[in-house]
Amino acid sequence: MDDDLTISLPPHVLVFPSPVQCPINTMFDIAELLCLSGLDVTFLLTPYTKSLLFQHVYIESRLNPYPLIRQIGSHSNHLPSIHLHTISDGLPLDHPATELLDSMETFTKPVFKDLFTSGKLVSDECGPVSCIISDGYMTFVYDVANELQVPVISALSLSPCSLWVLSNLPNPTEAVEVSDSTRDSVIRRVPGLNGIFTSGDLASMCQSSEWAHCTMKHLRKQIREISRAHGLILNTFKALDGPILSHIHSICPNLYPIGPIHTHLAVRQEAERLIPLLNYSREENKDCITWLDLQQPKSVLYVNIEKHAQFEWVQIRELWHGLVNSGTKFLWVRRAESILEEGRVPPKILKGTKERGCIVDSASNVHVLAHKAIGGFLTCGQWESIIQGIVEGVPTICCPLSLDQQVNGRFVSKAWKIGLDEEWRWERNIIEKMVRDVMELKDGLIDNANTMKYSGRKSVRKGGSSYARLDQLIDDIRCMHH
């Protein structure tokens, strides 16, 4: 490619989501935000992440608007675009996602490097890659980028509070040896923990069997490697996480808190006179929206627990009893494959469900949480779900299934005071009480939730903190281009 032509083209960003950690929708939202700002984007997929993208997203409708974007800046003859590109991960499509990381470290790394050295990502319409945005889970990206002198910005799917807490926990390999005094000193020493976590919380986290899981091994490595990134994109906003962000500067000085990202995208689309793409999700279930339309405002509890989690029947049974016994109307997203073995359901529970419940196998969090009928949200505490609930002002019950979700839940209840988590157990009486407490809006939950809702929405408008940080991100990427 001619050097003068390369200079005349806008920066070219490679966005590379991992097959395990980062929600594919959020990463694609980031790609769209970059494109709306006048940058060319290549969205790099493995066969597994490609299957997720096409399974959950109407990808054609999310690519088509971009030729309509007005010509931006000095690139009057060039329209920014998003290109999809696939790279092999070395495994059949049906392999567990957790196995992909080890395979990619050995198999994908040289193929990834070849994309750059062979010029496969360069064309007359797209210059050389100026910057890589990855979720940091695939640490080989740092190795290749460092060798080729291409800056990497990490887009973290973890919440800032989870990043901060997990990076400061005592070494889990010594968990059994961690004493009460050591845990107490961690709470005193690490800013942001006091009043939110107890010594008992840290004990259960340090001694969790989850540390032996390969996903946690990669997560610890991801946290250690963050310092290699030029910057860190976080799906949060200053009013929510300001104190924690000030501490994370010690891990990575260059932070881009640009969230809530899905709301930010809708705002920028509106500014470009594009209709926000509200129908981009294949998970939309029109039946559940029709049912919600018939309910009173703030009367329904929305229950949607992590889509890849699997549950024993006893857990499903206790949750079901708790929901029905609470007397609250509920919309429950329950996937058949998430239940290991179904058991018998008492007639009383079936009758209560028919009267007050709606059970579906899929739904879009973004659409459901925005519905006027929703008054509460029961989730495992995955960060993408938490931030979606926050921006709609919906009080939340957290039933954490992993350590990062445990941290999120504790911040929901103790730091932001917009929900409950501390009492959670898979017992019908506990669940019934927590549902009632949230739906009856005890302890000022709705006031706190509304405050965060308006702060989140304000942050992505012109003059807001997230709006300014996205502009800074774009400016920084443009500087990398020259």
pLDDT in tens, 325-339: 999 999 999 887 667
| Per-residue pLDDT at 70 | 41
Inform me whether the pLDDT recorded for 23 exceeds 90. no
Instruction: Specify the residue for token string 């209560």.
Output: 352
Q: Say if residues 81 and 125 touch (Cβ distance below 8 Å).
A: yes
* CA gap 134, 13 in Å, rounded: 10
| Per-residue pLDDT at 247 | 93
Per-residue pLDDT band for 274 (boundaries 50, 70, 90) equals low
- Measured between alpha carbons, how far apart are the two ends of the chain, in Å? 16
Higher pLDDT, 482 or 268: 268
| Per-residue pLDDT at 356 | 96
The dihedral built from the CA positions of residue 239, 170, 196 and 322, taken in this order, carries a sign that is positive
Neighbouring residues of 128: CB distance < 8 A, sequence distance ≥ 6:
1, 6, 12, 121, 122
* CA gap 84, 89 in Å, rounded: 16
Per-residue pLDDT band for 75 (boundaries 50, 70, 90) equals very low
Q: Say if residues 363 and 281 touch (Cβ distance below 8 Å).
A: no
Q: 162-221, pLDDT tens digit by residue? A: 999 888 876 655 444 555 666 566 667 777 777 888 777 777 777 777 666 767 777 888
Q: Which of 44-58, 124-138, 200-214, 348-362 has the highest mean pLDDT?
A: 348-362
380 phi, psi to nearest 5 deg: -70, -20
Inform me whether the pLDDT recorded for 61 exceeds 80. no
Per-residue pLDDT band for 77 (boundaries 50, 70, 90) equals low
For residue 404, give the amino acid letter. Answer: D
| Per-residue pLDDT at 44 | 94
* CA gap 248, 259 in Å, rounded: 16
Q: 233-243, pLDDT tens digit by residue? A: 999 999 999 99
| Per-residue pLDDT at 2 | 53
Pairing of strands 396-398, 374-379: parallel
What is the number of alpha carbons within 13 Å of residue 204 lying toward its C-beta? Answer: 10
Per-residue pLDDT band for 102 (boundaries 50, 70, 90) equals confident
Q: Say if residues 417 and 444 touch (Cβ distance below 8 Å).
A: yes
Higher pLDDT, 390 or 53: 390
- % of the chain residues with pLDDT over 90: 52
Inform me whether the pLDDT recorded for 244 exceeds 90. yes
Q: Say if residues 232 and 254 touch (Cβ distance below 8 Å).
A: yes
| Per-residue pLDDT at 8 | 79
| Per-residue pLDDT at 74 | 40
Q: Which long-range contacts (CB under 8 A, 24 or more apart) does 174-178 make?
A: 175/206, 175/207, 175/208, 175/211, 176/207, 178/202, 178/203, 178/206, 178/207
Decide: residue 260, CB within 10 A, 0-12 exposed, 13-18 middle, 19+ buried: buried
Structure tokens at 205: 């986290």
Q: Say if residues 217 and 431 touch (Cβ distance below 8 Å).
A: no
Higher pLDDT, 301 or 77: 301
